[in-house]
Amino acid sequence: MSQKILVAGSGKSGIAASKMALDTEHEVILYDSNEALDAEAVRGQFKEEEAIEVLLGELKKESLKDVGLCVISPGIPLDAPFVEVLKACEIPVWSEIQLAYHDAKGKRAAITGTNGKTTTATLLYELVRLAGEKAGLLSTVCNYIGEEKIPATHTTPDALSIQELLRRMVDAGCRYCFMEASSHAIHQKRIAGLDFDGAIFSNITHDHLDYHKTFKAYIEAKKAFFDRLPAHAFALTNADDKNGLVMLQNTRAHRYTYSCRTMADFTAKVLEKHLDGTLLRLDGEEVWTKFTGDFNAYNLLAVYAAARLLGFPKENVLEYVSLLVPVSGRFETLISTEGVMAVVDYAHTPDAVENVLSTICGLKGRDNQVITVVGAGGDRDKTKRPEMADAACRYSDHVILTSDNPRSEDPEQIIRDMLTGVKEGFQYRVEAITDRKEAIRKAIGMASKGDIILVAGKGHENYQEVKGVKHHFDDKEVIR
């Protein structure tokens, strides 16, 4: 849709952005705060018939009539006086790359929440590819530009890396980009200024209090993402999370809810549970999925709802959902050489550990055991350590506390922190083995046919970080 755009900066970058906007049939005001410039000379760099106006000097509100967007050149500070005028007029400020991506008809959606971000973002990426579209993905496990795989170092990259990756997606012809929006990234404004077509909230539980300090601040970081959404976007939230509707309180976006328990815009119900999949009633239709666990029912429902809100037909989305496969390291089932089933999962919060174990308990045989191998990361939120051990004890017949990326901390001290969460009467179920490989092998040795082992915390990771060095380590390799 054509609109009037203010391009700030008359240098080479601003001229290029102006021409890009004109090529896509927008009207342009080329603005520069330097009133000593020759307006005619600046205008002379464009064709006479092109719809461009040159504006120099102080920017006033009356000059911004009908302006729907400002595109700012690199190097112009975001606290420049004219930016305050734009803010007062509620005119969004974009980078040139955002303009390029927008006019390439790209659509962007981001997922935020404590758990489920990676699965939801990855499955959306896979779903639109099943629909024949080219897409990009920014996630914890890996970044993708179409089929090109790019290693990921953070859940959400830094601002410059995001812009570079978006530019490459545009150049590669990607029409969709899905990304995880971590609370750190939102708070640090790594995604500030990005124009999103949709946002999804999965859930919020105990995590990252080492950074945010309070749970309230953690919630506010997530909510800030929804507060900044543009009016044309959709805001999709989990109505079953007690803070789900909080995310929608101040957003300008179109509001939608999803639920597995109550009335909502999009609903799902688990009909059958098996180790190799789940039968869902999704938006009134029965669908067999290759996913296990109630938490994955929520993930799939969020994926379905987002795809529908992005304009994909219901019948097609239901078919694509049935074809999707689990994400690496997310409730990934393996059979050891001894014939014992193990589940490898990235669960690294108390809530995630509880969700995975409750699913396993609902699937195991009556006379079989659940054995859990779990640790807690070093240099991260210490308050969740005892809670993780408590969750493991409540749902397991035997728990082995072990090392999981101790980083600069003493792994044995981390385990001692976890042990404080083991309640009276559960101590006999717990042992500590600092060496993670030995802990996994001990669990396999204890298990009998029909037992299920959960190896939690690392999931897709193929390293163990100790004293600043990442040593190769893969839970799945040890199990196999």
| pLDDT at site 157 | 85
| pLDDT at site 212 | 73
| pLDDT at site 311 | 95
Q: Which secondary structure element, helix H or strand E, spans residue 224, and what is its range? A: helix 215-227
Does residue 336 surpass a pLDDT of 90?
no
Give residue-wise pLDDT tens across range 353-386: 999 999 999 988 889 999 999 999 999 999 999 9
Q: Per mean pLDDT, which of 173-187, 325-339, 409-423 is the most reliable? A: 409-423
**Mean pLDDT of all residues in the chain?**
92
Single out the residue of 359, 445, 431, 427 nearest to residue 395, CA to CA.
Answer: 359
Are residues 294 and 277 in contact, defined by beta-carbon separation less than 8 angstroms? no
Give residue-wise pLDDT tens across range 437-468: 999 999 999 999 889 999 999 999 999 999 99
What are the contacts of 411-418 at 24+ separation with CB within 8 A?
411/375, 411/378, 411/466, 414/375, 414/376, 414/378, 414/385, 415/375, 417/376, 417/382, 417/385, 417/386, 418/375, 418/376, 418/385, 418/386, 418/388, 418/389
Beta strands in 252-321 (DSSP E): 254-259, 266-274, 277-282, 285-289
Q: What is the mean pLDDT of residues 135-150?
A: 95
What is the edge-to-edge ordering of all strands in the sheet holding 430-432?
A: 332-335, 341-345, 452-456, 370-374, 398-401, 430-432
Rounded Cα gap, residues 454 and 437, in angstroms: 14
Are residues 265 and 258 in contact, defined by beta-carbon separation less than 8 angstroms? yes
Q: How confident is the model at residue 100 (pLDDT cuts 50, 70, 90)?
A: low
Would the pTM count as exceeding 0.85?
no
Helix, strand, coil percentages for the chain (3-state, nearest 5): 35, 25, 40
Q: What is the mean pLDDT of residues 208-237?
A: 88
SS3 at position 135:
strand
Q: What is the mean pLDDT of residues 317-343?
A: 90
Higher pLDDT pick, 57 / 24: 57
Rounded Cα gap, residues 121 and 182, in angstroms: 12
Residue 373, judged by CB atoms within 10 A of its CB (0-12, 13-18, 19+), counts as buried
What would the two tokens of residue 416 be? 């001692």
Number of H helices, E strands in the chain: 16, 24
Does residue 192 surpass a pLDDT of 80?
no
Does residue 307 surpass a pLDDT of 90?
yes
What would the two tokens of residue 28 be? 């342009």
Residues of the chain above pLDDT 70, percent:
97
Q: How many residues does the chain have?
A: 480
